[in-house]
Structure 1
């Protein structure tokens, strides 16, 4: 008979293993010595030790599911409980019991973690839904559309919730996207209609512009083109594929007209600059008539210069006030000379001036005599009053005498 701290082999070849509950039959051995029998069943025990150790490490270091871990534990426990090994089977049972507790703890941890992840996923999806519903009212079509597509990708990366909750949130999320798409589609349909209306209006404006391009009625036609431009701006933009062509045709028609006008104005400006040179020469001739010494000759010469002036034609607008002002100054000087000559040679006016002067002289002489008499009589107040009146009449007399001198007398 052979024995070991954990087992023995009897004479009949039966192998026993020692446990806390007493000896258990591990098996029988008929092929060799008892020592070989014990060695064989001890190797089976060592195999169980290795398998349990491997399972412990898997439970601790991998994401082995609780279900798979429990199945593996039960399989090993069946082998231990079968007592087909020699060794400390009770220690193996204790390790398996501990492993069961560890798996249960991991199961609870994972349950809590899963619940937390589910709650986080719910919060994240609710946030996505809220943002999608807000974006559904946006009119920033490009930015909102891109953001909604990004939200879909974010949604796909989140864990699923329970079916009811997940379906409800997805329904709201999908409804918000559909509402945005519907509004965007309606907006662009309306925009397309507006652009088509703008295209039709601009086609008419192009036709009007082209019809005016050969006009030589410079002022009214230029004003009409300004009106057409205002209508063009108010019409809005046509479709992109039409807008550039329409503008090119519209602008081209204007260019034809304004190029012709520029050429005509250039020719006119050249002619007017030549006219200005001629009128400046005439103005210089007219200024030589001043001061007027021979009224008749000055009047005749100015009349001749004025006829030549009228025959010349227009000058540039910005130069007109200055050159015309020079001629007008000469004309006014001649008119003033004429008025002075008329006053000097008008007998009726001379007679009126002489009569007025005589009357004022008589009044002055009388006031002077009265003032002297009052002062001689000692009436100082009356004398002062008469002398003030005398001063006023004397001033009128001096003015009348000056006017009378203009008549040469």
Structure 2
């Protein structure tokens, strides 16, 4: 009996009461009180088995609760009614109200503070103005957002434009560059090494980035969240930079992403690149087992793909050899221009058409006049000879205006006019003088 209890708890020890990423209902709809949620790790500790018994790095429950409160839209927060002229955050971004206590207007900030990394690091009162939230920060002189202010901000193009500029300014401070303003794609800036060192040394920037991600989600730039998080995730887990930032990325940055589907995908990406796997605590164990299955399938797929590529290389190598042989035969045997008799039409009986165009195959057949071949651009079967312009229609995909009856065409060897058909009733031109394009 004790063993059964221990096993059950080991299977569920990563289930977090403050994380609905894997729930069927959305974060906004899940308004149940904390007591109605699944048991948290704190509740499980009453059984005598603690998460520390199985993990070296237990989940930060304070962070999980904070991020859930944000994703739900602060359900216990009541807004005060105010007119637009009293919406200080909006007025600040319209360049009509200065920040406090720095007394700086947004236009001045964007011009004078840009690239002044010492000031951006030393001063702590501006971030609440640049990226306001519905929750208070360390600057008590800044104002919290309200729902009405958020809607007014989203509908104002000037305010949104300046918000993107503020975002770019702070990205530069962290050694990141905004590549695409439409998608939010980011990449390393030229000064990334220097700025990454500063980010490693000054951990309070982790909370600044968390605020930035939250504010982007509030003010209409939700699509900017996932690209920035994925950038930091790749830097930490794949490229092994910013190691001291890793847990803030997973505790805070990840769960600021409002789009649940994106969040699930990024948790999977994080798990696949996180080491050691047994210390990953940001999703339930049953989800981890699904990730493991996915990982095995991916390895099998890559293995199969690698084998297919090798087979294709061999096939292309053989095809190249055949082409080289036909080119050599061309230089050896095609010493004079083809005569009209060379282009005389063959017997059009069904049996002969069947012989002339065998069953579908990717075997390359040389032109019967000059032995040169050219592959069909659709299915790689032989098409037209570019030396003598004799055309054999591809019997696989019927490319190059193939006759729909017998799938055979012949081009004029002078002007490449395609008309001749091996069908008995079709018009033909066995000589160049019969071609409607180049005949007098």
Q: Please classify the TM superposition score into its range, dividing by the shorter chain length.
A: under 0.3
TM-score (structure 1 length as normaliser): 0.21
Task: Name whichever structure is richer in helix by fraction.
Answer: 1
Larger radius of gyration: 1
